Structure formats: structure tokens, C-alpha cells
């Protein structure tokens, strides 16, 4: 998950991973990795999918590591909050 600071990346990652959501803002430093399993059904077959979700900091001081972190990803979630002023300064990684 990538996006500007205070866009809600960690809150969304916590909800997806089943982690209790904290009410106070606690910025991610660098990257936070959540690992969890999801049960899905594919072609009438029940499967357990292992998810490794990387929650990247939106702080510009960590921007130089984005390309390395995203090198071999299978998907990218861009989180953007139009209600915050920080989101207007988005530069896509």
C-alpha cells in the first residue's frame, strides 16, 4: 500500500489483516509488513491464500526505497484521501 501521509493506508491494512484499529494517528516508519490468510473460492474449490501486505510510509524521507520495495510485487494499492491537504502533494511512485 502506498500513498501520502495520513491517507489511511495503515488503517485499511489493519482492517484487511484483521488487526485491531487504533484511533490515534501513529505514522508508519519505513515499511510495516502484515501476513495473514484469506479463504477464497475459485472454480468451486475452497482455497486458503497467504497474503503479505506491505504498508509503506507516506513520508517523503522514505521515498527513495519505494522502487526497491515494489520491485517484485503482485499488486499495488494506492490510498488517497482527498479530504487531507497532504494528498494534494502526491507524486506517484
Which CATH class for the 9-85 domain?
Answer: alpha beta
Task: Return the pLDDT at 86.
Answer: 56
**Sign of the Cα pseudo-torsion (20, 88, 71, 74, in order):** positive
Residue 75 has pLDDT above 50, yes or no: yes
Task: Return the pLDDT at 23.
Answer: 83
- The residue extents of the domains of the chain are 9-85
For 45, the grid coordinates are: 474449490
The pairing of strands 45-56 and 31-42 is antiparallel
Which is higher by pLDDT, 90 or 57? 57
**What pTM was estimated for this model as a whole?**
0.78
Ramachandran sector of residue 60 (left: φ over 0; alpha: ψ -120 to 50; beta: rest): alpha
Q: What is the pLDDT of residues 41-58, one digit of tens each?
A: 999 999 999 999 999 998
Mean pLDDT score of the chain, rounded to an integer? Answer: 85
Amino acid at each position: 500500500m502506498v500513498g501520502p501521509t495520513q491517507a489511511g493506508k495503515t488503517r485499511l491494512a489493519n482492517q484487511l489483516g484483521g488487526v485491531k484499529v487504533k484511533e490515534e494517528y501513529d505514522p508508519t516508519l519505513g515499511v510495516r509488513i502484515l501476513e495473514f490468510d484469506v479463504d477464497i473460492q475459485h472454480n468451486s474449490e475452497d482455497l486458503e491464500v497467504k497474503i503479505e501486505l506491505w504498508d509503506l510510509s507516506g513520508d517523503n524521507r522514505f521515498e527513495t526505497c519505494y522502487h526497491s520495495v515494489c520491485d517484485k510485487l503482485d499488486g499495488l494499492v494506492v490510498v488517497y484521501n482527498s479530504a487531507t491537504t497532504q494528498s494534494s502533494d502526491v507524486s506517484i511512485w
